[in-house]
Every structure is written in structure tokens, then in C-alpha cells.
Structure 1
Amino acid sequence: MRVTQQDIARLADVSQATVSRVLAGDARVEDDKRDRVLRVIKQSNYRPDVRAQALRRRRTSLVGLVLKRPDGGLKDDPFYSALISEITAVLSKSHYHLCLDVAADSSSQTGVYDELLRTRRVDGLILVEPETEDQRLHKLQDDRFPFVVIGNPRTSVMHSVDNDNVLAARIATQHLVENGYRRIGFLGGPAGVAVSEDRVTGYRMVMAEHGLTPRVWTSDFGFASASAASRPVLDSADRPDALVVLDDFMAMGVARTARQLGLALPGDLGLVSFNDSSLCELVDGGITSVNMNFEQLVQESCRKLIQIIESKVPPVPSRLVIPCALMSRGSSRRPLGVAR
């Protein structure tokens, strides 16, 4: 027979309201009463009805994450596998769970957000890959829906956790310059994605400081897209001698194309990317990558979102910047004797 809060109250000789306050962690409950309630709970192996508690609090204990990728676009991407895994692990420590939706395109993504706002089936949202003109952000803000942006929302009136992606790209580009590369290009993501534009900005700054000509190409996210986008770049007579690539997964696609064209890393092509994922070790010599402190990025984002959800008075919007660091590997170290 299932033990109820009424049973706990009777056995502990307290009111049911006192049991509810103990379960809610109310510090105003007298120590003696709290001890009796907790002792009975332990002895009776009582388990609260999570669904009933959620209904009373008007919460679901769910946090939403909506990713925009074409069908199958997440299957082999280690960044998003790690993102989903880390968010799930961090949320579970605070008794929240992840609700994941994947949209194939912008129209589908808009529909998912509209449905989430209408049904309130999640308590809050983690947004990734903000765009420079991102209507999702304004819609959520106008609706006063709890959310945190992982990335640069281009405004100071929203909660965000991000890296300094301009600085990260400066570090990556400067590293290539210091290793003797001069015809350095940048392969970024789709137009309008904030992280890509920030990294292009940092790349351009370093190129200008050294009097070098910037060359920027774009690609859809993913291994296959980057591999295809880099082929005409690397197969041209005036190909770059190094590339800064938006992320490790895309860099792997570039490395495959370089290999197919008979180009050696790092002698014929220097390569630097971002995220410092496990993929970087799969290429002979390794891919140099900027470590974005991924775990801290996720932990701080989840912590901030839970704070927003559980605060009776919404906290003041804040932007937290997580540090990054270059992890140098073989893809950017030119052998001795190679012309500079």
C-alpha cells in the first residue's frame, strides 16, 4: 500500500502542512518536528509523487533544448552528443530533465518554439547558435519565458553564457601566423550565425594587424558540408596555405578533402579549429584546436537557468564569459625546412 503525506503526518504527530513544508525544504519548520518527519519518511521508504508536486508548483521539471539540423545532421556530430549528455547530467543533479527537439529548418524550429510557449511543457529553455537577428530571443523575452543563451545574443538585456569568440579566433589566427603561414583563410558557418561572425571578426583583426589579405568562405554545419565546401578552395591555383575552421567536425571534413587532393598537414595546409573535441586526435599528428571550456559553459548555463526558473523575482540579466585556450597539435606545426 502506497504511503501518503497524510500517513507521514499521522506517524510523526504533525500536520500535513508541516510535512509539505519539510519536503519543500522550508527552514522555518521547528527542528524537532523536522527530525520526526524525516525519520518517519526514512522508515516508511516514502517517495513523493513528482507529478503531483509539479502540478502544485505549476512546473514540469523539464528544460527544453531545440536544435536546428537537417535529418540525420546530429547523428555523427560529437559536439552535440557531448552537449546533450552534459546538459542531461548537470540538470539531473538539480532534479530537472532535458526535453530535446530537433528541427530540420528555420520554419520547423519556429513551430517548435511556438508550441513550447503555448503549452508550457517545459519550465525553461537553453538556446544555442543564436543568430545576429534572432526572433526567438525577442519572442521568449516578450513572453517572459525563462531562457538562457549559450552564445552571443547581441544584447545585454538577456541571460547568456559564452566564450569571447573574437578572442578565440584571434588566438587561432595568430598561432598560424607565428608558425609561418601567410595565406590564411577562414571557413565559417552559415551567414547570420553569431558565433561564426564573431570568429570571422577576430580572424580579420589579426590578418589586418599583419598586413595579410583575409579570405572567408562559408559552409553549412557538418563534416560532409565542410568537406564539399573546401574542395574548390583547396583545389585552386591560389589556395590558402592554412585554414581556420569554425569547429572540429567541419575541420575533419576539410582534412579529408585535403588528403584526397594529396595535400599534407601541416606542410601543404595548416589547420586550426575550435572546441578541442575528441575528434582532434583522429587525424595523424592531431588537429590544433581552441578549447572553449565546454563543461563549464554548460554547467554555468544550466545553473543560471535553474536560478531564473526558481526565483520569485527574476534575476538581473547577466553575461558570463568563459575563458578559452589553444591546444597546439601537429596540424599547425610546419616541419623544419618548409618554406615560409
Structure 2
Amino acid sequence: MIVTIKDVAKKANVAPSTVSRVIANSPRISEKTKKKVREVMEELGYHPNFQARSLAAKSTQAIGVIMPNSAYYAFQNPFFPEVLRGISTSAHDNKYGIYLSTGSTEDEIYNEVTSMVLGRRVDGVILLYSRINDKTMNFLQSSNFPFVVVGRPDEHDERISYVDNDNIFITKQVTNYLIDLGHQNIAFVGGSTDFVVTVDRLNGYKLALKDAGISFKKEYMVFEDFIKENGRKAIESLMNLNDPPTALVTQDDLIAYEMISHLEDMGIRVPQDISIVSFNNLMLSEHSKPPLTSIDICIYQLGFEATKCLLEKISIPDTLPKRITIPTKFIERKSCEQKK
């Protein structure tokens, strides 16, 4: 005999609509009621027909996850598997699936997102990046479609829900850490200037120098495009300056690893000759040589909270935009030392 939603409602002494909301994990239902209804569902062996529910409710029970470039390149960076782990956990808890983007250029990403939205293939979207003047984000906002950004939006951030670290403050703090170690010649090795995270971290670096009365030098800046083109040449351009840096603030651990490798080939020792601090605190950070001082930006939590925020927007469309700031942890290891 097939168990129906009405059987569950009768046994749990609630309305069928309440059972339906429990299945959808609606925030309007108390945890006590959810627990009672779920226990009855398990006792009776009731399994919701999510396909039928999706058709009836015009819901896909899926969210789109959009990366800044193709999955092939994104997964070379351990940030993305970890943020996806947080997204997957939260989505699974709420009976949602994930639709992963495959576009590799800005235009391909835009076309894929418009297809997702207009074709109603997903109920909402998570952007795993914040690009300056991003037409995909502009499209989502103008379409009034549920979306959340991992990263601070370039503009209209008061109208957009996003989850981020306080990158300006964090980078100011790590630059101050190097200044307190006696370093004055500090270089900034950043990501792409197309992305807000790079701009925010550069601003934090500049603020620390300004507060310490240290002149900002353009020649102490190197960005991702130059590093991708020739990482060895990028670090050589810094170390061959008349007044080379004695410390580096790097965009992430992957760039830091590359810099350490090139420095070693050049006979420059870390931290004896140059100190390095980085971001992300990847698994290999403590096993690198030397172990890398890094900022743990809590990548898993960024994904988990972004998904939680998106599902709330899907469930309650009138939810006001939110800014969620994920705390970070400074992990001090052996890649920095007092300037001699």
C-alpha cells in the first residue's frame, strides 16, 4: 500500500500543507514540528516524489553554481573543491541538487547563466566570484532572479546578498604583521585586477603602508596575468630592482608556492632572505618548505553560508539582501622572520 502525504499528516496530527513545508524545509515550520513529521515519515516509510513536487511547484530543486572560468581550470585551484564541499553539504541538507557551470570565457558564462535562468533549469544561482562590471551579475540583478555572490559585489552591494571575508581589513593586518617584523620593502603579488577580491586586498595593503608612513611603490606590484605568462620572470622583476623587497604579500597559497620555488632556484632563501605571507591556508601549507604563514579564510564556510542564504531567498523571495562576513584565522608558520 502506497503511503501518501495525507497519511503522514493524519499520523502526525498536522495539516497536509505542513507536511509539504517540512519536506521543503521551510523556515516557517518550527524545528520541533519538523522533527515530529520526519519521524512519522520514517515510521510509515513515506518517500516524497520530488519530481512530481517540482513540476507542481514549478521548482527544479537545483541551484546553479557559477565559476569564474571552466571547471577544468577552476579545479586546479583547491579553493573551488573546498567551497563546493560547503555548497554541497548545505544543498544536500535541503534536498537540492547542483548544476555546475562549464563556460570558460566571460561570454560563455553569461550565455550559460541566461539559459539557466530563462529556461528555469535552476531555482537560484551562486556566483563563486565577483568580477568588476560583470554582465552576468547585472543580468541576474535586473532579472530579479534569486542569486548570492561569494565575494563583495563591485557595485550595488546594498542590493545584493553576498558572503565574503573582510579582505581590506585582513590584508591590512597581515601587512602590519610584516611591518612589525621590521620589513619596509613589501611587495604585493596579486590575482587578476578584474576581480574585486584583488582590488580589496590591494587596498588593505596600501592602507597598512600609509598608516606606517611607508611610501607605496608601483614597482612592488605584480599581478596574475604576468605570473601566468612567466612566473619566473615575474619574481625576477621584483628581486632585480635596485631596492628589492624583503617581504611578499601573495594573493593565495598557490602563487606563494610558485614564488618560493622560483626564489629557491635563484638562491634566495625563505624566510632568511625574504618573508612570505599568503591566503587560503590550503592543506599543503603546513607541509611546504618552509611551512607557509597563511590566512585561513574558512573556504568551506563561505560555500555553506552562501547556499543557506540562497535557499532562504528562494523560499522567501521578499527576504532583504544580506551581507555575511566570514571570520578568518591567522596561521603563523615559518615563512616569515624578523628582518635583520
Q: TM-score range by the shorter chain?
A: 0.7 to 0.9
Question: Is residue 122 from structure 1 mapped to residue 126 from structure 2 by the alignment?
Answer: no
2:49 partner amino acid:
D
Matches for 1:1-340 after TM superposition, within 5 Å = 3=2, 5=4, 9=6, 19=16, 21-25=18-22, 42=42, 45-69=45-69, 72-153=72-153, 154=155, 155-214=157-216, 215-220=220-225, 227-228=231-232, 230-238=234-242, 239-311=244-316, 313-334=317-338, 339=340
Paired residues of 1:251 and 1:273 also in contact (CA < 8 A)? yes
Displacement, 1:10? 7.7
Report the Cα distance in structure 1 between the residues aligned to 2:103 and 2:336, rounded to whole angstroms.
36
- Measured at CA, do residues 11 and 90 of structure 1 come closer, stay the same or move farther in structure 2, by a change above 3 Å? closer
2:196 partner amino acid:
A
Displacement, 1:199? 0.3
Q: Deviations over 1:200-234 (max 9, x none)?
A: 0010111122232332111149x966834633334
Paired residues of 2:8 and 2:46 also in contact (CA < 8 A)? no
Displacement, 1:105? 1.5
- Measured at CA, do residues 13 and 230 of structure 1 come closer, stay the same or move farther in structure 2, by a change above 3 Å? closer
Report the Cα distance in structure 2 between the residues aligned to 1:300 and 1:168, rounded to whole angstroms.
20
Paired residues of 1:188 and 1:218 also in contact (CA < 8 A)? yes
Displacement, 1:56? 1.1
Displacement, 1:309? 0.3
Tell me the TM-score normalized by structure 2.
Answer: 0.85
Report the Cα distance in structure 2 between the residues aligned to 1:37 and 1:234, rounded to whole angstroms.
61
Report the Cα distance in structure 1 between the residues aligned to 2:141 and 2:207, rounded to whole angstroms.
33
Is there any run of 5+ residues in structure 2 with no aligned partner, and where? 30-35
- Measured at CA, do residues 56 and 192 of structure 1 come closer, stay the same or move farther in structure 2, by a change above 3 Å? same
Report the Cα distance in structure 2 between the residues aligned to 1:159 and 1:251, rounded to whole angstroms.
31
Report the Cα distance in structure 1 between the residues aligned to 2:70 and 2:101, rounded to whole angstroms.
12
Q: For residue 33 of structure 2, what is the aligned residue in structure 1?
A: none
Paired residues of 2:85 and 2:303 also in contact (CA < 8 A)? no
Number of aligned residue pairs: give it.
323
Q: Which moved more, 1:172-181 or 1:99-108?
A: 99-108
Report the Cα distance in structure 1 between the residues aligned to 2:283 and 2:163, rounded to whole angstroms.
23
Report the Cα distance in structure 1 between the residues aligned to 2:295 and 2:38, rounded to whole angstroms.
52
Displacement, 1:20? 5.9
Report the Cα distance in structure 2 between the residues aligned to 1:75 and 1:225, rounded to whole angstroms.
20
Report the Cα distance in structure 2 between the residues aligned to 1:53 and 1:123, rounded to whole angstroms.
14
Tell me the TM-score normalized by structure 1.
Answer: 0.85
Q: For residue 31 of structure 1, what is the aligned residue in structure 2?
A: none
Is there any run of 5+ residues in structure 1 with no aligned partner, and where? 29-34
- Measured at CA, do residues 310 and 12 of structure 1 come closer, stay the same or move farther in structure 2, by a change above 3 Å? closer
Please say which structure displays the higher CA radius of gyration: 1
- Measured at CA, do residues 128 and 165 of structure 1 come closer, stay the same or move farther in structure 2, by a change above 3 Å? same
Identity between Structure 1 and Structure 2 (%): 25
- Measured at CA, do residues 332 and 10 of structure 1 come closer, stay the same or move farther in structure 2, by a change above 3 Å? closer
SS at match of 2:330: strand
- Measured at CA, do residues 160 and 10 of structure 1 come closer, stay the same or move farther in structure 2, by a change above 3 Å? closer
Displacement, 1:43? 5.7
Report the Cα distance in structure 2 between the residues aligned to 1:216 and 1:247, rounded to whole angstroms.
15
Paired residues of 1:218 and 1:229 also in contact (CA < 8 A)? no
RMSD: 3.0
Displacement, 1:173? 0.5
2:291 partner amino acid:
G
Report the Cα distance in structure 2 between the residues aligned to 1:281 and 1:212, rounded to whole angstroms.
31
